[in-house]
């Protein structure tokens, strides 16, 4: 792979070299990589298939002092690929990235405007940092009840003491916020824009589509969702002068394990290399395939395909969200059928199902899934019903104490 990709794959190469060394370490991990060659003192090889490729970062892919700087070099290559100034690899998922980002821009008593559709890791970031939230609200579709993202008009006024804004884009259902408009509004007020782009790492490899290129200051992305990394892998990146990279580094180190998996980290490096070499072509192919799915599904009576055509705003091209009430089909029941036949969906409730596609989904597979969904909806079709949208996105909470103080306060469960 190194020869084919500009800049090489330093961490992948180091991982491969460690795998081939057949070392007998006098340090962790406790499994000593002995299951890799099948020669153990145990009578069972139950762990073999689970840990055969488990190579630690420290004392594995690199030495204890990280003198090879393989991880640092891989992070630099990622940053260059996505137009960032600085990037850090994470094995605690985008949750770790969000906590680190909020810790980097906030602090005890510091006010941060936070999107009400945020992942629970944003709440954890408020607890860790001690920041106080000023809640901001997404536009909710009047019929579908789905969040359409936070718009620039929803941001705090100039008189607010909020020093940063934290938003989620894409949302879980695939709607995209106007990151460029948000960045312009934030920066004109002297604020930092933090974007949880966990579901949209592929957007970073689409010119002009990623939040960093649109002006965000810190962006967290999951490498394992729509891209190719191991589960748990993510990257947090910074661009521009508003965030001190050293402050972000300290926040990442605060939330990181000191024994990261070299295997997980190397999968991020490998993903970047694959996207650099094949991303443009493969993204175009799968986006076309998903659009073909949407086109076929639009022909189903009563079925609403949640996309830019329906909503009049940008949506994640790799997220397929279907709204079902007019078909009389229950989304949870449909998802259960799909799970039982090996086609688990990302999420489902009574009104909708959400599916995530990636560059490893072949065009023929996508077309087959569309046909399968058409058939299942026909089988499950019932009487059209009123939607039952979630209401929690629209709750306006009263902030009495900071999330940190609330977390550590005495409590009792009310029956």
Domain ranges of the chain: 68-275, 278-380
Query: Six-digit token pair at 323?
Result: 């709204």
From CA 222, how far away is CA 195, in angstroms rounded?
A: 12
What pLDDT score does 156 carry? 94
Q: Pick from 300, 292, 299: which is nearest to 317 by CA?
A: 292
What pLDDT score does 1 carry? 36
Query: Six-digit token pair at 71?
Result: 């991880």
Class of domain 68-275: alpha beta
The DSSP output letter for 148 is: -
What pLDDT score does 40 carry? 60
Task: Tell me how far CA of residue 6 lies from CA of 78, 208, 315, 403, in angstroms.
Answer: 12, 21, 31, 45
Torsion on CA atoms 290, 294, 297, 301, rounded to nearest 10 = 170
Q: Pick from 135, 121, 160, 154: which is nearest to 395 by CA?
A: 135
What pLDDT score does 4 carry? 41
What pLDDT score does 204 carry? 97
Locus of tokens 């980002």: 101
Judge whether 209 and 226 are in contact, CB under 8 Å: no
Torsion on CA atoms 229, 233, 239, 242, rounded to nearest 10 = 170
What pLDDT score does 3 carry? 38
Residue 279 Cα to chain centre, angstroms:
18
CATH architecture assignment, domain 278-380: Alpha-Beta Complex (3.90)
Give yes or no on whether 68-275 and 278-380 have one common fold. Answer: no
What pLDDT score does 283 carry? 97
Q: Residue 132 is inside which H or E element, if any?
A: strand 132-136
Torsion on CA atoms 229, 234, 239, 241, rounded to nearest 10 = -150
From CA 170, how far away is CA 162, in angstroms rounded?
A: 23
Rounded average pLDDT per 10-residue block, the chain, 415 residues? 62 88 76 62 66 86 91 97 97 97 97 95 97 94 92 94 97 96 97 98 96 98 95 98 97 95 96 96 97 98 96 96 98 97 95 96 96 98 92 80 94 90
What pLDDT score does 2 carry? 38
What pLDDT score does 339 carry? 97
Taking phi over 0 as left and psi of -120 to 50 as alpha, with beta for the rest, 222 belongs to beta
Task: Tell me how far CA of residue 127 lies from CA of 109, 156, 393, 402, in angstroms.
Answer: 11, 21, 20, 8
**3-class SS of residue 291:** helix
Q: Residue 115 is inside which H or E element, if any?
A: strand 111-115
**3-class SS of residue 232:** coil
Task: Tell me how far CA of residue 38 lies from CA of 17, 25, 27, 32, 55, in angstroms.
Answer: 19, 16, 19, 12, 16
């Amino acid at each position: 792979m190194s020869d084919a990709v500009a800049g090489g794959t330093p961490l992948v190469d180091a991982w491969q070299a460690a795998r081939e060394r057949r070392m007998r370490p006098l340090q962790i991990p406790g499994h000593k990589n002995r299951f890799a060659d099948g020669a153990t003192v145990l009578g069972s090889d139950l762990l073999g298939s689970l840990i055969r490729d488990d190579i630690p970062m420290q004392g594995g892919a690199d030495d204890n002092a990280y003198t090879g700087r393989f991880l640092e070099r891989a992070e630099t290559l990622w940053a260059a690929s996505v137009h960032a100034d600085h990037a850090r690899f994470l094995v605690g998922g985008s949750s770790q990235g969000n906590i680190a980002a909020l810790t980097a821009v906030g602090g005890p008593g510091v006010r941060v405007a936070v999107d009400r559709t945020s992942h629970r890791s944003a709440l954890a970031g408020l607890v860790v940092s001690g920041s106080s939230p000023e809640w901001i609200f997404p536009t909710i579709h009047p019929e579908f009840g789905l969040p359409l993202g936070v718009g620039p008009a929803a941001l705090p006024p100039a008189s607010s003491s909020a020093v940063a804004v934290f938003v989620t884009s894409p949302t879980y259902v695939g709607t995209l916020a106007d990151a460029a408009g948000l960045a312009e509004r934030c920066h004109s007020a002297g604020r930092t824009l933090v974007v949880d782009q966990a579901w949209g790492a592929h957007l970073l490899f689409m010119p002009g589509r990623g939040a960093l290129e649109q002006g965000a200051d810190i962006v967290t992305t999951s490498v394992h969702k729509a891209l190719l990394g191991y589960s748990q892998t993510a990257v947090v990146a910074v661009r521009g002068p508003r965030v001190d990279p050293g402050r972000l580094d300290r926040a990442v180190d605060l939330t990181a394990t000191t024994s990261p998996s070299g295997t997980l980290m190397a999968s991020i490096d490998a993903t970047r290399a694959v996207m650099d070499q094949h991303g443009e072509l493969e993204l175009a192919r799968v986006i076309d395939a998903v659009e073909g799915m949407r086109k076929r599904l639009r022909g189903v009576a009563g079925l609403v395909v949640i996309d830019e055509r329906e909503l009049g705003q940008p949506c994640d091209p790799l997220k397929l969200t279907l709204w079902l009430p007019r078909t009389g089909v229950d989304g949870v029941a449909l998802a259960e059928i799909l799970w039982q036949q090996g086609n688990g969906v990302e999420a489902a409730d009574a009104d909708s199902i959400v599916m995530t596609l990636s560059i490893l989904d072949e065009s023929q597979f996508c077309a087959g899934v569309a046909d399968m969904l058409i058939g299942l909806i026909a089988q499950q079709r019932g009487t059209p019903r009123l939607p039952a949208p979630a209401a929690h996105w629209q709750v306006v909470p009263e902030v009495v104490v900071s999330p940190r103080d609330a977390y550590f306060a005495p409590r009792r469960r009310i029956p």
